[in-house]
Chain A
Amino acid sequence: MRYHWISVLTVLATVPLGGLATPHSPRWNDMHMKHSWDSVPLNWESLGQPPADATINLLVALEPHDGDALIDALYEVSDPRHKR
């Protein structure tokens, strides 16, 4: 708990980022599930882990700074009756 309060105070004192404020040292091991299946999807079977030297290319899609801007723009340019 003590660690927790110290983090909050640090943020309030030094990072005035409003709603986006986070601790200077985020708890990277505080993992929360992003998505999961209850079972292996139909028609797929596990072959186990890949070879130890296997690599993977990952794509990380980031949220836009304004979640509505793209769709707003899409409607504005696509709908002749749009108010803008």
Chain B
Amino acid sequence: MPLLWCRYGAHLSKEQVATLVAPHPHTLGLVNSWLEHYGVPSASVSVAHGGSVLTLTGVPVSQANNLLGTSYQLYRHAETNETILRTLSYALPAVLHRHVQTVVPTTCFVSPLVQQLTPRKRSGGAAAGLAGVASGEPVTVLSSRDDIITPSYLRWLYSTSAYRPTATDKNKLGIVGYLRDYPSPADLAAFMLRYRSDAADATYTVVPVNSGGYDPRKPGIEANVDIQYAEAMAYPTPHIFYSTGRGPSGREDRYLSWLLYIIEQPSIPQTISISYGEDENKYPQGHAMFVCSLYAKLGARGVSVLFGSGDDGVGKNKNCVDSSGKVQFVPFFPASCKCDNFSSACEHTSTSTGGGSVLTTFRRSLGH
């Protein structure tokens, strides 16, 4: 009998998810009244994602300042010289606080160009010799080093050495890249010849997102590593590389750009790998919760999204401090983005003690 109503594996469609997260009609009415009060023309407002996201296009900054009780300024990053339009604080009418999760961009200063890459120390070496070269010549030092994680080691570790993926006509694996970080098919061929000679014809397709580019003659280390190791594990499952740009304005949030794109797609690869992240305490809480809810939408549709959890275990020496300087571990986001973190219902239904500890960490570190 239980099987009749067990919903395990009964993944939702895009439309079903949209219905689940739709705001209350009262929320929409209230927000529209607010925008109208501040003179935002309805023609510049578009509704997306089942009504859960409003996009206001071409708002004069002076009007945005009034709307959010703030003062937008241009900020420049010391290392990358990237400039972004942000504010140190923003406000909303009290009546809107429980109706609006976040407004973007406001106080999220995560750099579009600075990236903290995931496990480089041990896995980076094998592909780093190829990345950026596009010459097809693996570095010879590899075989003499014992701290290199090779595909054969990983396949042994996960007991998949003899496994050959099935249903490759249905399954897909997505690799997400951001900005000008591209893989190289020549480097992939060289890598596979060296480490998975039985899969030397591995290939991938490139899907541009939000004006993302692709120049395989100028590969980036991260994109190369990601596609090479994914192929070495999952061949012959078809691979898609998402090259995510920052939109026509060149200033859009890279994580959100890809997320907002992918949840609009009727069909999504069953597995997505994202090797980028930032310290969680760089994210305003509302912004982080919004990003997490978008990943939860993917999960409800049956998509497994894999993140790196950082290069340094629980943290670098002398670097484990929160935003107030207190010594504690700093989680990596969005790897720390468990659904337990933003739903009291999950708190009560989850039986995972691990989830509980993540919950505590997440809440504590976002408490700025």
Contact = CB atoms under 8 A, between A and B. Distances in A.
Interface of A: 17, 20, 22-23, 26-37, 39-41, 43-50, 52-80, 82, 84
A42 B357 CA distance: 28
Contacts of B158: none
Contacts of A40: 75, 88
Interface in B14-68: 17, 20-24, 26-28, 30-31, 33-34, 37-38, 51-62, 64, 67-68
B92 A73 contact: no
Interface in B83-138: 83, 85, 88-107, 109, 111, 114
Given A26-B30, A29-B93, A69-B20, A56 B88 contact: no
Contact of B64 (A56, A64, A75): A56
Interface stretch (B196-204, B226-234, B284-292, B326-334): B284-292
Contacts of B74: 46-50
Nearest to B287: A35
Nearest to B304: A78
B109 A41 contact: yes
A31 B89 contact: no
B27 A63 contact: yes
Contacts of B23: 62-65
Contacts of B34: 26, 28
A44 B77 contact: yes
Nearest to A67: B343
B8 A76 contact: yes
B128 to A, nearest CB: 25
B207 interface: no
A45 B89 CA distance: 15
Contact of B54 (A31, A60, A65): A60
Contacts of B88: 36-37, 39-40
Interface in B265-297: 282, 284-287, 290, 293, 296-297
B59 A61 contact: no
Contacts, number: 245
Contacts of B107: 35-37
B342 interface: yes
B73 interface: yes
A71 B8 contact: no
Interface stretch (B177-185, B308-316, B344-352): B344-352
Given A31-B91, A50-B72, A68 B21 contact: no
Nearest to A21: B26
Across the A-B interface, the 3 shortest Cβ-Cβ residue pairs = A36-B89, A68-B345, A71-B343
Nearest to A33: B91
Given A20-B24, A68-B345, A31 B103 contact: no
A30 B95 contact: yes
B262 interface: no
A41 B200 CA distance: 46
Given A64-B20, A71-B346, A74-B300, 6 more contacts: A56-B59, A60-B100, A62-B53, A75-B350, A77-B300, A82-B7
Contacts of B75: 40, 44-47
